[in-house]
Amino acid sequence: MKIAVLGAGAWGTTLADMLARNGVSTTLWAREPEVVAAIRDTRENATFLPGVRLSDALAVESDPKTAFAGADYFLLVIPSQFIRPALEGFRDILPDNPVMVCASKGIELSTLAPMSRVVAQALDGKHPRYASLSGPSFAAEVSAGMPTTVSLGCEDHELGHELQAAFSTPAFRVYFTPDYRGVELGGAVKNVIAIAAGISDGLGFGHDARAALITRGLAEMSRLGQAMGGQIRTFMGLSGMGDLVLTCTGDLSRNRQVGLKLGQGMKLDAIVGQMKAVAEGVKTTKALHDLARKLGVELPITEQVHAILYEDKDPACAVKDLMSRELKDE
């Protein structure tokens, strides 16, 4: 078995290293030649995953043709808004019927499509087989060997169980579900709610407010997910509630950090300008806002996060408007 990992950010590097240490022949493809050179010379991705020594068994390439040669599976860890152009550029060097496992979390802004549809459209005619990997998993903790559990969604049961076995390690337990759409949507929505939780904490609100946001955020995730074909039980699991709790409470969450700084009075452009890595929730907020209106699904927390990010709404006013909405049954 050989796996090619596309994207050498913190999460892509972590997963590639984990696979290599688990005895899987793994090649990490990085767009940046300087990242490839640094990993080869020092066995460290100091740009995106500093302080972590990578396995000597992990190969790294900047030439996609070399990186993809002989690969059985392709693990996508490219920021979600760049997956389509990347795959379109790789079409001629990818095999027919490629197995594409997506570990990126988001909704494409230009089309409002989930990543499964983006992959299918970008590789139309190649007949890709798709799976989604998501769950409570900070790169820093996984790379340190700390235990966690995640979900792998794949419509093909046989392929899904093959992938489950390939990705499972003593510290990284993978659960299988055929509901790939639920897995990928949970991973996208939780980033938006994490921004909201960060805003709440940045405003100085307490544990009560954060717990309420997580709970009502889960309701938003479930409503949108069901409208797009996901199963309710998936959102109660690792890729839904599990990842939601992590990103709303953990300081390693980039999306939570964006929210914290917004709540403390910083502007979005200044926050994003300070970040090396992508906070997927910023663009996902706009995509979810537009998608909810298109589908007629009510997402009040997302609406207010969108107003803060894109309409310069004062966070305190957003909280007031959220709390003064018409009273409803739970």
**Cα 65 from Cα 74, distance rounded (Å):** 13
Check: CB of residue 39 under 8 Å from CB of residue 60: yes
Residue 202, judged by CB atoms within 10 A of its CB (0-12, 13-18, 19+), counts as buried
Structure tokens at 324: 């003064």
User: Among 187, 41, 32, 2, which residue's Cα sits nearest to residue 105?
Assistant: 187
Catalytic residue among 2, 65, 126, 190: 190
Residue with tokens 């997302």: 302
The enclosing H or E element of 163 equals helix 157-167
**Cα 196 from Cα 259, distance rounded (Å):** 6
Check: CB of residue 151 under 8 Å from CB of residue 134: yes
Q: How are beta strands 129-134 and 2-6 bridged, if at all?
A: unpaired
Let me know if 126 is a catalytic residue.
Answer: no
Bridge partners, 169 (sequence order):
172
Structure tokens at 107: 């909704």
Which residues are catalytic, by number?
190
